[in-house]
Amino acid sequence: MSGKVATSRDPLPPDRGEGTGYGFASLFRRCASFITSALAGPAPTGASKQELRGDGRRRWLRRALVVPYAWLLLFFLAPFLIIFKISLADPLVALPPFTALFDWAASGWERFQVTLDNYLFLFQDRYYGVIYLSSIKTAAISTFLCLMIGYPMAYYIARQPPRRRNLLLLGVILPFWISFLLRVYAWIGLLNSNGVINNVLLSIGLIDEPLSLIYNDFAVYVGIVYSYLPFMILPLYANLERLDITLLEAAADLGARRWRAFVDVTLPLSVPGIIAGSLLVFIPAIGEFIIPALLGGSDTLMIGRALWDEFFINRDWPVASAVSVVLLLILVLPMMWFQKVQGQEVEDRR
Q: Does residue 65 lie in a domain region?
A: no
Quote the CA–CA distance of 263 and 21 in Å, as a whole number: 66
Q: What is the DSSP letter of 181?
A: H
Per-residue b or e along 162-189, where b marks 16 or more CB atoms closer than 10 Å to that residue's CB: eeebeebbeebeeeeeeeeeeebeebee
* Residue 198's CATH number: 1.10.3720.10
Q: Does residue 188 lie in a domain region?
A: yes
Nearest CA among 283, 286, 335 for reference residue 307: 286
Q: Does residue 26 lie in a domain region?
A: no
Q: Does residue 222 lie in a domain region?
A: yes
Q: Does residue 154 lie in a domain region?
A: yes
Q: Does residue 1 lie in a domain region?
A: no
Q: What is the DSSP letter of 174?
A: G
- 3-state DSSP assignment of residue 210: coil
Quote the CA–CA distance of 29 and 193 in Å, as a whole number: 64
Q: What is the pLDDT of residues 109-142, one digit of tens each?
A: 667 788 999 999 999 999 999 999 999 999 999 9
**End-to-end Cα separation, the chain, in angstroms:** 63
Q: Does residue 343 lie in a domain region?
A: no
Residue 91: the pLDDT is 87
Q: Does residue 230 lie in a domain region?
A: yes
Count: domains in the chain: 1
Q: What is the pLDDT of residues 138-171, one digit of tens each?
A: 999 999 999 999 999 999 999 999 889 999 999 9
Quote the CA–CA distance of 203 and 23 in Å, as a whole number: 71
Quote the CA–CA distance of 60 and 39 in Å, as a whole number: 6
Please answer whether residues 191 and 185 qualify as being in contact, where contact means their C-beta atoms are separated by less than 8 angstroms.
no
Residue 186: the pLDDT is 94
Please answer whether residues 142 and 114 qualify as being in contact, where contact means their C-beta atoms are separated by less than 8 angstroms.
no
**C-alpha 276, offset from chain centre:** 12
Residue 172's domain comprises 130-315
Residue 107: the pLDDT is 62
Using CA atoms in the order 125, 127, 130, 136, what is the torsion angle rounded to 10 degrees? -90
Residue 340: the pLDDT is 81
Q: Reduced to 3 DSSP states, what percent helix, strand and coil does the chain have, rounded to the nearest 5?
A: 70, 5, 25
Residue 110: the pLDDT is 65
Q: What is the pLDDT of residues 76-101, one digit of tens each?
A: 888 889 999 999 998 887 778 888 87
Residue 252: the pLDDT is 86
- Annotate 227-285 with DSSP letters as a single string: HHHHHHHHHHHHHHHT--HHHHHHHHHTT--HHHHIIIIIHHHTHHHHHHHHHHHHHHH
- What are the residue ranges in the chain where pLDDT is below 50? 1-25, 27-28, 31-32, 34-44
Quote the CA–CA distance of 302 and 133 in Å, as a whole number: 9
Residue 189: the pLDDT is 92
